[in-house]
Amino acid sequence: MSLKNENSTIRLLIYILIFLILILFLLLFFIIPNIKDYKTSEVKLKSIESKIEDLTQRQKSLKDELKREEDENKNVLLKFNKNFNKTNFITFSKKYLNDVKLTKTKEQNLSNYYEYKFSAYTKNSSPKEFFKFIDSIKNYENLVKIKFPILLEKKGKKIYINLILDIYKMDKN
Amino acid sequence: MYSYKQPREKPIFDTFTKMWLIFVSIALIGVLGYGFYLYSKSSTFSSMVEKKNSKVKELEAYNSSLENKINSIEKKRYLYKKIKKSNNLLKNSMKNLFSLVPDQIVLSKLDMNSDRLKIEGFTLTKNAYKLLLEPPLKSIFTQSKVIFNFDPYKGKYKFVSINHYKEDK
């Protein structure tokens, strides 16, 4: 009887041991690696979700900033969105000056402006109208820069003006 | 041979082993099930990460295009202000130059460059030029030279003044 009990105890111990070995084996080679993978992918997912959140917030603030910039610089942007029209510029210049001539110096593909040679006569012997012309150029539909060399020469009762103008091209974007 | 005893079925596994096997199977199924659940979860997470990565790229590209647009506007505004200032400066320097010319002197030609100014005109006397126009020109330019020629028809001196501006190195 005692021998049978002893056998049962040993068998029980062996079964427990086999069970523990099986469980340990599964834990070591199946469960723990899977838990690690799960944790890693969960962390990755959370970090990418927070990144998306940040980027969405950034997008919102950028959109607001862009809108604000567009509204604040509406007039400036309009100057870059219009093709230069030579006839319009001559008509505009004739409000202040006479015999206006505008000649493109050379085709510049690389720079963002065209260079023009500008010549005209004042309407009288005073350069006042010429100064008014320079003042009003900032309100012209295109962006125009007056450049050196500038020549002012008295011819009869008028002043002959010769200078260089940089007229900025339309933005292609 | 004949036995009076009925043959007793002897199972391969006794009740204890069967119970143990059932218990072990349940435990194994539980552990394996949990393992597969974790595996499927992490696979789902990985595929979600891939999808979200492409969304991140899209957002980054869009944000970068927005940043470029803002930069472009800022550049345009800066250029506009710079040109406006340059045109204004040019006009003011010409106005100032005209204001320097006294009544005794009449200008006939002005040739302006970024670092050079050539003035041609008429003066009644050399002194009028030397006392009234030369000092302000000399205070603006680093070099100032003048040549006089008497014009007998007009009874005035025609002068050519060449002025240079050189920045100190």
Same domain, B88 and B109: no
Please state the separation of Cα A156 from the chain's center in Å: 53
B53, closest residue in chain A (CA to CA): A48
In tens, the pLDDT along A152-163 reads 999 988 999 999
Could A151 and B110 be called an inter-chain contact, meaning their C-beta atoms sit closer than 8 Å?
yes
Same domain, B24 and B87: yes
Residue B30: is its pLDDT beyond 90? yes
pLDDT of residue A21: 94
Percent helix, strand and coil across chain B, each rounded to 5?
60, 20, 20
Same domain, B95 and B109: no
Could B73 and A66 be called an inter-chain contact, meaning their C-beta atoms sit closer than 8 Å?
yes
Could B45 and A69 be called an inter-chain contact, meaning their C-beta atoms sit closer than 8 Å?
no
Residue B7 in domain: no
Residue B169: is its pLDDT beyond 70? no
pLDDT of residue A24: 94
- Which of B38, B41, B81, B115 best tests the A interface by mutation, with the highest count of A CBs <10 A? B38
Same domain, B41 and B118: no
Instruction: Tell me the C-alpha distance between A158 and B111, whole Å.
Output: 16
Comparing B120 with B3, the larger pLDDT belongs to B120
Task: State the CB neighbour count (10 A cutoff) for residue B71.
Answer: 11
Residue A52: is its pLDDT beyond 60? yes
Could B76 and A77 be called an inter-chain contact, meaning their C-beta atoms sit closer than 8 Å?
yes
Query: Of B52, B77, B100, at which residue does a domain stop?
Result: B100
Residue B59 · residue A57 · CB < 8 Å? no
pLDDT of residue A112: 80
Same domain, B113 and B96: no
Residue A37: is its pLDDT beyond 80? yes
Same domain, B67 and B21: yes
Backbone angles phi, psi at A122, to 5 degrees: -75, 160
Same domain, B47 and B108: no
Same domain, B95 and B108: no
Could B35 and A152 be called an inter-chain contact, meaning their C-beta atoms sit closer than 8 Å?
no
Instruction: Tell me the C-alpha distance between B12 and B91, whole Å.
Output: 113
pLDDT band at A28 (very low <50, low <70, confident <90, very high): very high
Residue B8: is its pLDDT beyond 80? no
Number of folded domains in chain B? 2
Task: State the CB neighbour count (10 A cutoff) for residue B22.
Answer: 10
Q: Which long-range contacts (CB under 8 A, 24 or more apart) does A110-113 make?
A: A112/A168, A112/A169, A113/A145, A113/A166, A113/A167, A113/A168, A113/A169
Q: What is the mean pLDDT of chain B?
A: 90
Residue B5 in domain: no
Chain A partners of B91 at a C-beta cutoff of 8 Å?
131, 134-135
What number is the average pLDDT over the span B39-61? Answer: 94
Q: What is the CATH number of the domain that holds B121?
A: 3.30.1360
pLDDT of residue A108: 63
Residue % of chain B over a pLDDT of 70: 97
CA distances from B56 to B80, B115, B127 (A): 36, 54, 78
Instruction: Tell me the C-alpha distance between B55 and A51, whole Å.
Output: 10
Query: Of B45, B77, B100, at which residue does a domain stop?
Result: B100
Q: Which amino acid is located at B38 in the chain?
A: L
Same domain, B95 and B115: no
What number is the average pLDDT over the span A115-137? Answer: 92
Residue B128 in domain: yes
Task: State the CB neighbour count (10 A cutoff) for residue B167.
Answer: 6
- Which of B79, B99, B100 best tests the A interface by mutation, with the highest count of A CBs <10 A? B79
pLDDT of residue B12: 80
Query: Of B80, B100, B120, at which residue does a domain stop?
Result: B100
Could A131 and B55 be called an inter-chain contact, meaning their C-beta atoms sit closer than 8 Å?
no
Residue A93: is its pLDDT beyond 60? yes
pLDDT of residue A144: 95
Residue B1 in domain: no
pLDDT of residue B151: 87
pLDDT band at A126 (very low <50, low <70, confident <90, very high): confident
pLDDT band at A110 (very low <50, low <70, confident <90, very high): low
Domain range enclosing B74: 14-100
Residue A3: is its pLDDT beyond 70? no
pLDDT of residue A170: 72
Residue A9: is its pLDDT beyond 80? yes
Which CATH code of 3.40.50.300, 3.30.70.60, 3.30.460.30, 3.40.630.30 fits the domain covering A84-168? 3.30.70.60
Tokens 């970090």 map to which residue? A47
Same domain, B68 and B132: no
Residue B103: is its pLDDT beyond 80? yes
In tens, the pLDDT along B139-164 reads 888 999 999 998 888 888 999 999 99
Is residue A55 less than 8 Å (CB to CB) from chain B?
Answer: yes
Residue B85 in domain: yes
- pTM of structure: 0.79
The residue ranges of every structural domain in chain A are 1-72, 84-168
Same domain, B121 and B95: no
Backbone angles phi, psi at B163, to 5 degrees: -125, 135
Could A154 and B109 be called an inter-chain contact, meaning their C-beta atoms sit closer than 8 Å?
yes
B19, closest residue in chain A (CA to CA): A15
Same domain, B34 and B85: yes
Residue B72: is its pLDDT beyond 70? yes
Residue B4 in domain: no
Tokens 């391969």 map to which residue? B12
